[in-house]
């Protein structure tokens, strides 16, 4: 799953692809690198990010979706949004997957929209919301996000949200699940989730993992080097590859990344080493469980 951020403030590449032509060209490049899914988002969900209104989000993503519509690339188009109005417009413009970081909690109309469509959806765990999820005066408390057992808590949440989705009329086979690495979690929480990802795989749906260039990788690298500041985003590719290969071994099947080419190559070799085969590209379908 290749990331296409049509935003001015995303932590990794904010502003780089805000212009529609730049975002479309970037998306085409990700397909050439081997992206099976293009995840297009017009609202940053980095820690501390402020919300964007519906009209602004639509103005950012619709030109990109329309620019990619009808291209025979084989890649599935995903809209990264928690707003039903944005999802509805995106589906009309050719998207067929809704990546909702709120897991259908932010907008009461989202579940019905997905139930009435033929679209796939991804339900993600997040503690609170982007503005407060790391605990600065928010839901995680001053000391940061807290859990009794982060893996058990995330598993229970995803199971409950999947049950809610199915109860709302969304077919189970159309659902993917994302533990929300970096969304309301400390470094240790992220590592525990990756270490015990197989416990989430027992839910029986494709697991999406999004570790790409995230801050916990930068912090681990800085600690190893004895540096005070996290390693910059540009230095986090090796850590991204490591976390995705480990996630593959533990049951993940969808990998949300900025650097599609090198991560895909690493996963291809890892899958062969584990005795399997990496998902064939160009099918336009979501990997099955």
Q: Which phi and psi angles does 5 have, rounded to 5°?
A: -90, 110
Query: What is the C-alpha separation between 193 and 121, in angstroms, rounded?
Result: 21
Q: Greater confidence, 284 or 59?
A: 59
Alpha helix ranges (H) inside the chain:
20-33, 54-68, 84-92, 110-116, 150-167, 187-195, 197-201, 215-225, 237-249, 260-273
Residues marked as catalytic: 214, 256
Name the residue with tokens 């990496």: 278
The phi-psi region of residue 40 (left if phi > 0; otherwise alpha if psi is between -120 and 50; otherwise beta) is: beta
The verdict on pTM exceeding 0.85 is yes
pLDDT of residue 13: 60
Q: Which pLDDT score, from 0 to 100, does residue 71 have?
A: 79
Residue 196 near residue 209 (C-beta atoms within 8 A) = no
2-273 is classed CATH 3.40.50.2000: no
For the stretch 262-276, pLDDT in tens is 999 999 999 999 987
Q: Where is 175: in which H helix or E strand?
A: strand 175-178
> What are 151's two structure tokens?
């893996």
Express each pLDDT in 91-122 by its tens digit. 999 999 999 999 999 999 999 999 999 999 99
Residues 117-160 pLDDT 10s: 999 999 999 987 755 555 543 334 446 788 999 999 999 999 99
Q: What is the CA radius of gyration of the chain?
A: 18
What is the number of alpha carbons within 13 Å of residue 247 lying toward its C-beta? 30
């Amino acid at each position: 799953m290749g990331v296409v951020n049509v935003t001015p403030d995303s932590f990794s590449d904010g502003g780089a692809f805000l212009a529609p032509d730049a975002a479309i060209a970037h998306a085409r490049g990700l397909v050439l690198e081997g992206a099976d899914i293009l995840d297009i988002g017009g609202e940053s969900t980095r820690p501390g990010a402020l919300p964007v209104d519906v009209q602004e989000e639509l103005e950012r993503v619709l030109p990109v979706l329309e620019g990619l519509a009808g291209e025979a690339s084989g890649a599935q188009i995903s809209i990264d949004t928690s707003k039903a109005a944005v999802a509805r417009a995106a589906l009309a413009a050719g998207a067929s997957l809704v990546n909702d970081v709120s897991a259908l909690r932010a907008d009461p109309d989202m579940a019905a929209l997905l139930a009435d469509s033929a679209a796939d959806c991804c339900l993600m765990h997040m503690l609170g919301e982007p503005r407060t999820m790391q605990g600065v005066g928010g839901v995680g408390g001053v000391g940061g996000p807290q859990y009794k057992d982060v893996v058990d808590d995330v598993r229970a949440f995803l199971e409950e949200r999947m049950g809610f989705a199915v109860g709302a009329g969304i077919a189970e086979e159309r659902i993917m699940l994302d533990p929300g690495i970096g969304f309301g979690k400390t470094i240790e929480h992220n590592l525990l989730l990756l270490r015990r990802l197989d416990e989430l795989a027992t839910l029986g749906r494709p697991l999406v993992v999004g570790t790409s260039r995230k801050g916990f990788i930068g912090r681990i690298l800085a600690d190893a080097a004895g540096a005070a500041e996290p390693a910059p985003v540009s230095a986090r590719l090796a850590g991204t590859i490591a976390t995705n290969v480990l996630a593959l071994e533990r049951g993940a099947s969808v990998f949300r990344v900025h650097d599609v080419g090198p991560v895909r190559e690493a996963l291809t070799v890892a899958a062969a080493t584990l005795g399997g085969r990496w998902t064939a590209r160009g099918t336009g379908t979501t990997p099955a469980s």
